[in-house]
């Protein structure tokens, strides 16, 4: 019995000696980071602080040196910036982003660290602004765009990052058509007057403007 007790105490001592929390500090002395280690690797909660006493910037759960569990990033005012979950160092599930005033800004869906699935963005009023989807980090499927009253103002269709989006004016008439390749503006962006005629063209190449032309006789 005594041998078992001594062995148990030794195991507890060994486990305790293998678990520790290390802190780093800013020059003025307040904490910069607090990191939990077990057997030489980050395990448990890791916290990073702004250069402002007790103001958390990042909280993340770690397992064997990899992000695994809840991740939260904060603005300096204390409001949540980003919330998501990690599995084996890759984002898994829904990542939610917020404004500096606490309103939900957008949501992305991840599978093993890659955007796959629904995406939504919101106006500061909480109304839906954009709804679409991704496949392997590329725009995919049908996308819709709304104003802050919930009125449809644009829609598009994509296949692996390639497609086009049409935006409408207040009367529901086409106002602008934009083409995309590999998630970037690529090709001729057309602007329409109320008669449906093109009055302006901007040519893009991978999000960069190549040329621009306006017919002043057809301006809306």
d(Cα 35, Cα 169) in Å, to the nearest integer? 53
The arithmetic mean of pLDDT across residues 76-90, rounded, is 97
> Contact 126/104 with Cβ under 8 angstroms?
yes
- pLDDT > 90 fraction of the chain, expressed in percent and rounded: 87
At 7, is the pLDDT very low, low, confident or very high (cuts 50, 70, 90)?
very low
- Give yes or no for residue 4 having a pLDDT over 80: no
Tokens 């160092």 sit at which residue?
89
Question: Sorting pLDDT into bands at 50, 70 and 90, what band is 1?
Answer: low
Question: Which residues are CB-neighbours of 4 under 8 A, at least 6 positions away?
Answer: none
Q: Are 99 and 108 in contact (CB under 8 A)?
A: no
- Over range 39-51, report the average pLDDT: 95
For range 142-163, the mean pLDDT: 97
Enumerate long-range contacts of 32-38, CB under 8 Å, 24 or more apart.
35/62, 36/62
Q: Is the pLDDT of residue 13 over 50?
A: no
The residues near 97 (Cβ < 8 Å, ≥ 6 apart) are 81, 82, 104, 105, 106, 107, 108
pLDDT at res. 104: 98
Asked if residue 14 has pLDDT above 50, the reply is: no
Average pLDDT over residues 71-98: 98
* The token pair that represents 28 in the structure block: 């003025």
User: How far apart are the C-alpha atoms of 62 and 40, rounded to whole Å?
Assistant: 12
pLDDT exceeds cutoff 60 at 38: yes
Which ranges of the chain does DSSP label H, i.e. alpha helix?
2-18
CA-closest candidate to residue 125, choices 146, 107, 109, 142: 146
Mean pLDDT of all residues belonging to the chain: 92
Please check the confidence at residue 192 and state whether its pLDDT lies above 60: yes
Does residue 17 carry a pLDDT above 90? no
| Rounded Cα distance, 19 and 94, in Å | 32
């Amino acid at each position: 019995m005594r041998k078992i007790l001594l062995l148990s105490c030794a195991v507890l001592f060994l486990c305790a000696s293998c678990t520790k929390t290390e802190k780093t500090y800013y020059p003025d002395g307040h904490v910069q980071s607090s990191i939990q280690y077990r057997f030489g690797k980050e395990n448990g909660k890791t916290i990073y602080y702004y250069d402002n006493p007790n103001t958390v910037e990042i909280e993340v759960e770690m397992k064997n040196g990899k992000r695994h569990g809840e991740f939260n990033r904060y603005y300096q005012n204390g409001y949540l910036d980003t919330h998501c979950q990690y599995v084996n160092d890759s984002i898994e599930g829904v990542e939610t982003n917020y404004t500096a005033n606490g309103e939900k800004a957008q949501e992305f869906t991840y599978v093993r660290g890659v955007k796959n699935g629904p995406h939504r963005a919101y106006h500061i009023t909480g109304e839906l602004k954009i709804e679409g989807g991704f496949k392997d980090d590329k725009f995919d499927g049908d996308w819709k765009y709304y104003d802050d009253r919930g009125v449809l103002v644009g829609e598009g269709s994509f296949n692996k990052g390639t497609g086009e989006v049409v935006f409408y004016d207040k009367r529901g008439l086409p106002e602008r058509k934009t083409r995309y390749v590999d998630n970037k503006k690529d090709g001729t962006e057309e602007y329409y007057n109320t008669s449906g005629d093109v009055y302006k063209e901007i040519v893009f190449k991978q999000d960069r403007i190549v040329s621009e032309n306006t017919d002043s006789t057809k301006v809306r």
